[in-house]
Chains A and B, each alone.
Chain A
Amino acid sequence: MIRVGIPQALYYYQYYPMWKTFFEGIGAETVVSPPTNKDILDLGNSRAVAETCLPVKVFFGHVISLIDKCDYMFIPAIRSLGEEAYHCSKFLGLPDMTKAIVPKCPPILDPEIDLNKGRRNLWKVIYSLGRHFTFDKGKIKKAVEEARKANLAYRNKMSDERITPIQAIDGMHRSTEESDFDSHVAPTLSVAIIGHPYVIYDEYINHRLISRVEAMGARVFTPEMAHRKSLEIAMARLIGKPHWSFEIDVIGAGECYLEAKVDGIISVAVFGCGPDSMMIDTVRHRARECKTPFLFLSLDEHSSEGGLVTRLEAFLDMVKRKKKECPPTTSPYLSNDGRERICV
């Protein structure tokens, strides 16, 4: 069977189940790189230009680790996933950057996804991608349909059960299993962690942020745990039409959880992220208006665990004190009537 390599970085967290279903449907096998570790980071870091942002460097590391394990590398160039909302340039240049930086990379499958050009174009792109594996048009069509369903099921699973993509993909708690944290503390606070999926869920980049915050006695909410619809509504209210496809993960989630009255918001971004530098400012401004504690964590390959822990502890202490001083007046439990309600 033809093996298709999928690096466990960037889009992986959002689309892996969909891609897996699709490639299996057309008779290919997917190979995923291991979770980020020091070797992977060093490999990517040593080849990319210094100014490149951390997740992209990590991505190159994952590609390098997959070199001999697959026949094709799947790196889509995603231009747009919505009407006139675009992806960051680095996502578009990803296949070509990989080719330049990792010359030994197996042939790259780089469909250009641009929903602005309409469904017909999308189908054409997917069809020419499927042609690498099968000439059976019906088979491709069926695989696409199944992939669409798998994606929907995956999204719903995350928002219904309020779990992270990693839990949804593995079907288990990867972090707590090998974690040395005491996760039996009953949560007393609710904290929203907002940012791009590839930053929030890559435990090596963010030093196991989610488990850490949970161990400090907070219930964590991430953008994937809210319903897509409520994020969209929140985003439309705050800024109207989005400029970037992933604005929903930052501004949408920020506004949505602010309205749900979480006790604190942690916004995680990597140093040098162009879109984040603009978007987070909007959320910060809103958080100030709502008088919600807001922590901005900027990560890069030099960020140390110690510094991060100190900042988290200080932040959660502040959140706790604020909660004691002015107890919130929200209603008791989670409801999913289009508006997220959060309480612990």
Chain B
Amino acid sequence: MRVGIPHFGNVYIPVKGIARKLGATDRDLIIPPPTSQRTLNLGVKYSPVEACLPYKLTLGNLIEACELGAEVLVQARGTGICRLGYYSRNQERILHDLGYNIRFTHFDVSHHKIRSFLKLVKNMTNGASWPKIISASYFGLGKLFALDRIEKVVHKSRAVELEKGRANQVYREAIGAVDEATGGREVRGVTKKYIDKLNRLPKDPEADPVKVGIVGEIFVVLDPFANMDIEMELGKLGVEVRRTMSLSRWVKYSLFLNGLGIDEWKEVHKVAMPYLKRDVGGDGWESVGEKIIHAREGYDGVIHLAPFTCMPETVAQNIMPSTKEDIPVLAVPCDEQMAKPGMVTRLEAFVDLLRFRRKRRRI
């Protein structure tokens, strides 16, 4: 069985880790080439015009996986309110029309997440034993946590580094090293090594980074291709980024702790309550709440990322300006028409505004 997966940030690294531990080779797990302009073009060509960017990108990935000979494709599925639940249904038809004889298998992201995750692994590995699956999952998810730990440090060091671009270089090396690590201890060692390396980068003594929070829809927030590497661009402008949302956090809570009744978003929902009373699907509720939290914690600004025409985020965008807590919000709709220079210009203008506001506040 040759399994293909779509890309979503760095998710391919833990998936590869799990597969390798369970004895799968490159033939068994097909990871499509990194998302590129070609991927996007393929996705756009075969998708409905008004579909959202995550749909188009994942379709492009899956087509590229099919070209490499995938027979079974994995796609997320949920009974939420946003379009996600519809992805696999339409994509399967499109791929059949293109002449690929493939089968879809699903990963549930709204109910029975842990069960569906383990079942998926079991099916994909032709019934490996449970202890093996669990130890492999532990190892793979460990990689995910390691990556996110390194990323948190990069967010800070990018803003203050003396020689622009060094932190990014180290970060890229770190991703490669984590990807190649073959044991739990090695992953931990590599993580420590690269975090030290990032912390030891020469710092600009006069740097006074503006602090910006990134909120929005999970796919475009976490996928660097979808958001045109916005975190890196902000780093170049000397901005420290905070992003609450991360894959490791999602895994930690959604797969494990939510089942025990611990809700990671409880605080966020509570502060959003006066403005938005209920979950509107996707990450809309969280976006509103996070704006308020960032304002209270004294951040300089918030960048709100959403795929163009995303329903939950449109609700959030309509509500955000009315909150009592005042903080500048830059809404960046992501779609295939977006060009990097345009986005960078907007970011520069936004950061200038934040610097100006900060100066005025100090006087």
Assess whether A278 is in contact with B86, with CB atoms less than 8 Å apart: yes
A52 CB-CB contact with B under 8 Å: yes
Q: Does B52 contact A (CB under 8 A)?
A: yes
Q: Are B275 and A96 in contact (CB under 8 A)?
A: yes
Is B317 touching A87 in the complex (CB atoms < 8 A)? no
- Interface window among A149-157, A280-288, A335-343: A280-288
Most B CB atoms within 10 A — which of A79, A96, A239, A282?
A: A96
Number of A-B contacts defined by CB within 8 Å = 120
In the complex, the answer to whether A52 meets B318 with C-beta atoms within 8 Å is yes
Q: Is the CB of B278 within 8 A of A92?
A: yes
Please measure, in the bound complex, the distance between the C-alpha atom of A278 and the C-alpha atom of B331, giving whole angstroms.
Answer: 25
Is the C-beta of A225 less than 8 angstroms from some C-beta in chain B? no
Best-buried of A92, A99, A275 by chain B (most CB within 10 Å): A92
**Count class of interface residues, chain B:** 35 or more
Q: Is A208 an interface residue (CB 8 A)?
A: no
Is A89 within 8 A of B281, CB to CB?
A: yes
A263 within 8 A of B: no
B90 at the interface (CB under 8 A from A): yes
- Give the shortest distance, in Å, between A109 (CB) and chain B (any CB): 13
B322 and A103 within 8 A (CB):
yes
With a CB–CB cut-off of 8 A, which chain A residues contact B311? Answer: 88-90, 274-275
The answer to whether B79 touches A100 (Cβ under 8 A) is: no
B321 within 8 A of A: yes
Closest A residue to B97 using CB positions: A285
Interface centre among A52, A103, A239 (most CB of B within 10 A): A52
Q: Contacts A86-B81, A89-B82 given; indicate if A96 touches B314 (C-beta within 8 A).
A: no
B86 near A243 (CB under 8 angstroms)? yes
Asked whether, in the complex, the Cβ of B308 is within 8 Å of the Cβ of A51, the reply is yes
Roughly how many angstroms separate A46 CA and B85 CA in the complex, as a whole number? 33
B50 touches A271 (CB 8 A): yes
Q: In the complex, are the beta carbons of A51 and B333 less than 8 A apart?
A: yes
Q: Are B50 and A277 in contact (CB under 8 A)?
A: yes
Known: A88-B81, A272-B309, A277-B50. Is A101-B86 also a contact (CB below 8 A)? no
Complex contacts, B280 vs chain A, CB 8 Å: 89-90, 92-93
User: Which partner residue on chain A sits nearest B52 by CB separation?
Assistant: A274
Tell whether A232 is near chain B: CB-to-CB under 8 Å.
no
24 contacting pairs across A/B (C-beta < 8 A) = A51-B309, A51-B333, A52-B318, A53-B309, A77-B277, A77-B278, A79-B278, A86-B80, A86-B81, A88-B81, A89-B280, A92-B81, A93-B276, A93-B284, A93-B318, A97-B315, A100-B319, A110-B277, A272-B308, A273-B50, A274-B310, A274-B311, A277-B48, A285-B97
Those 4 A-B pairs whose CB atoms lie nearest each other, nearest first: A93-B315, A277-B50, A100-B322, A89-B311
Q: Which residues of B contact A (CB under 8 A)?
A: 48-52, 79-83, 85-86, 89-90, 93, 97, 275-282, 284, 308-312, 314-315, 317-319, 321-322, 331, 333
